[in-house]
Structure 1
Amino acid sequence: MKKKILLPTDFSKSAWNSLKYASELYKNEEVDFYLLNAFTVQNYSIENMMVPEPGEKYFEASKSNSELGLQKLLKRIELLNVPVNHTYFTKSVYNTPLEAVKSFVEDKDIDLVLVSNKGETDSIDVLIGSNSIDFMEKVRNCPVFMVPSEVNFKEPNEIVFPTSFKTHYKRKELKHLYEIARITNAPIRILHVSSEQKLSEEQIEKKTLLEECFDGLTYSFHFLESTDVQTGLNLFTQSRNSGMIAFINKKHSFFGSIFSKPMVKDLGYNAKVPVLALHDLRN
C-alpha cells in the first residue's frame, strides 16, 4: 500500500530542503506526497473569525499566489529527477498552518507529516519554522518528522530513542521508527536517562516489550545517570555524532513532563539532526 506523506510548504528554502530530504529518504518506497500551502488574506484575521468570502479581491489574490507557488514547486520537482514511484499532489487552503495540517491529516488519512524547522524568510520564528513545534506537539494522530533546514540527506549512522521504560509500547506507534531504521539500515540506540541506577520490575517488563517491538532490527541499550533528560540526550547524541532522534511525545505521566513544550521546543529549534516525534495513540 502506498504511503501518504504531507509536506507543508511556505515556499522557503527550508521547505524545499525538507521536500528533497523526503524524496531521498523514501526513494525506494511507493509514496504519494501532498504539498500543502496554507494562506492567509490581507486585512483578515483567522483568529478573530473574520473570514473573507471566495470571490473577494484580496481572497482571490492570496489564493492565486498560493496556487501559483504550488505550480512552480511542481515544475521545480520535475527537474529533480524524482523516483517514478513518487507522485505529487498540491492543495492550497485558507487557514493557519497548524489547522490546515490537522484537517488534511484527518481528511486524507496521512501517514507522516514531514516539515522543516525554519520557515518563510528562513528566520526561525516565522510560519513553518515556529509551526513545526506546534505540529510536533498538537498533531496527535500522525507522526511528525522535523528536518533541520541546514541538513542534507544522508542515511543516519544511528537513531537515538530516549525512553523512560514506563510506556506500554505498541508496534503501530513505533511503525515509522521501525521502517526508517529498516530502509536506512540504521541501528537504534535506546537511551535511558535517569538518576535511578536500577530499573523497577515494571520498567524491566516494558524494556522486554520494546525488544519485541524492535525484533528484526539492530538495536542496543544505553544508560546515563543524570537528573535532566534533555542534557543527557544532548550529551549522548553530540558525543556520538548520532544522525537522528526519535521519541514518543506522550501526554501526561513521565514524558508529559520531560518531553513537554520546552523539550519539544529545544528539539525543534536546536536539533542539528532530524527528529521524529511519535505519539502515544492512547492519548
Structure 2
Amino acid sequence: MNKRILLPTDYSKNALNAIRYALELYRDVQCDFYVLNVFQVSTYTLDNMMVPEPGEQFYDTAKRNSEEGMAKLMEMIKLGPDNPKHRFHTICTFNSLTEAVKSIIAKQDIDIIVMGTKGASSPKVKIFGTNTVALMEKIKDCPIIAVPEGYFYTVPKEIVFPTDYKSDYKRKELHYLIEIAKLHDSKINVVHIDKNKDGKLSHKEETNKQLLQDILDGTDYEIHFLPAVNIADGINIFIEGKDCDMITFLNRKHLFFGSILSNPLVKEIGYDPKIPILELNDN
C-alpha cells in the first residue's frame, strides 16, 4: 500500500521547501501526496454564524485564488525530477487548517504530515510557527515532520532521540522513527542527559531503557549518556558534534502536556530548530 503523506501549504517559499524535503525523504517509496491549501474569506470567521456559500463573491474569489495558487505550485513541483513512485492529489477547501487536516486524515488514512515552519515574533510560537504548533497540539492520529525555514534536504544519517527514561515506550509510537532510520540507513542516537549528576538510573528508568533497546533492536542505534548540563545546551552541542540531521521527540498528549509548548523537552531545547523535527504521537 502506498504511503499517504499530507503536505499543507500556504504557497510560501517555506511551504515549498518542506514539500521538496518530503519528496526527497520518500524518494524511493511509493507515495500518494495530498497537497492541501486552506482558504478563508476575509469578511467571515469560522466562529461566525454567517458562513459564506459558493456563489457569493467573496467565497468564489478566495476559492479561485486558492486554486490558481495550487496550479502554480504543482507546476513548480513538476519542474523537479519526475518520480514515477509519486502521485499527487490537490485539495483546496474553506475551513480552519486544523479541521481540514483532521478531515483529510480520516478520509484518506494519512500516515504522516510534512510541513514548513515560520519565524514568528512571539517567542511562544517561534519554535515552529503558529500553524505547526496548532497541528502538533491538536492532531493525535499521525506524526508530523516540521522542516525549519531555509533548511535544504540532507539525508538523515544521524537522528537524535533525547529521552529521560521516565516513561515506557510502545513499538507503535516509534514506528515512524524506525521506518525513516531503516529507509536511509540512519543511526538513531538515544541521548540521556543526567540531571541527577550521579549517572545512576532508577529501577523504573533501567526497565524503560531496556524496553527502548528491545524496540530499537534491528536498527543502527547507539545509547549516549551526557553528564548533567542544561538540557538545551546539551542537546544542541550533541547535534552539532554529531552533525545530526533530524531530532525526534515523543509527544504524549494525554499524559503530561496540555500544550506542546509546555513539553519540558521542547521548551528546554529552545524555540529555534536548526534541523527537521519528527514529532511522534502516542495514539
Superposition TM-score, scaled by structure 1 size: 0.89
1:94-109 maps to which residues of 2 (within 5 A)? 94-109=94-109
1:137–1:264: 8 Å Cα contact kept in structure 2?
no
1:130-149 maps to which residues of 2 (within 5 A)? 130-149=130-149
Aligned to 2:187: 187
- In structure 2, the CA distance between the partners of 1:268 and 1:115, relative to structure 1 (3 Å rule), is farther
Aligned to 1:206: 208
2:233–2:269: 8 Å Cα contact kept in structure 1?
no
Whether 1:55 aligns to 2:55 is yes
SS of residue paired to 1:88: strand
1:183 CA drift (Å): 1.3
Aligned to 2:250: 248
1:135 CA drift (Å): 1.6
1:91 CA drift (Å): 0.5
- In structure 2, the CA distance between the partners of 1:265 and 1:92, relative to structure 1 (3 Å rule), is farther
1:243 CA drift (Å): 1.2
Q: Deviations over 1:170-205 (max 9, x none)?
A: 222111111111111110000112312311112111
CA distance in 2, matches of 1:49, 1:262: 38
My pick for the range that moved more, 139-148 or 75-84, is 75-84
Unaligned regions of 5+ residues in structure 1, if any? none
- In structure 2, the CA distance between the partners of 1:262 and 1:22, relative to structure 1 (3 Å rule), is same
Which of these residues, 276, 279, 282, is aligned with residue 280 of structure 1?
282
CA distance in 1, matches of 2:51, 2:264: 33
Aligned to 2:86: 86
Root-mean-square deviation (CA, aligned residues, Å) is 2.5
1:255 CA drift (Å): 6.8
- In structure 2, the CA distance between the partners of 1:199 and 1:262, relative to structure 1 (3 Å rule), is closer
Q: How many residues are treated as equivalent by the alignment?
A: 277
CA distance in 1, matches of 2:178, 2:261: 21
1:143-182 maps to which residues of 2 (within 5 A)? 143-182=143-182
- In structure 2, the CA distance between the partners of 1:147 and 1:164, relative to structure 1 (3 Å rule), is same
2:257–2:263: 8 Å Cα contact kept in structure 1?
no
- In structure 2, the CA distance between the partners of 1:47 and 1:65, relative to structure 1 (3 Å rule), is same
1:166 CA drift (Å): 2.7
- In structure 2, the CA distance between the partners of 1:9 and 1:257, relative to structure 1 (3 Å rule), is closer
SS of residue paired to 1:216: coil
Superposition TM-score, scaled by structure 2 size: 0.89
Aligned to 2:3: 3
1:4–1:31: 8 Å Cα contact kept in structure 2?
yes
- In structure 2, the CA distance between the partners of 1:3 and 1:26, relative to structure 1 (3 Å rule), is same
2:156–2:184: 8 Å Cα contact kept in structure 1?
yes
My pick for the range that moved more, 137-146 or 41-50, is 41-50
CA distance in 2, matches of 1:268, 1:137: 17
CA distance in 1, matches of 2:259, 2:164: 12
CA distance in 1, matches of 2:268, 2:71: 34
SS of residue paired to 2:64: helix
Aligned to 1:16: 16
1:258 CA drift (Å): 9.1
SS of residue paired to 1:270: coil
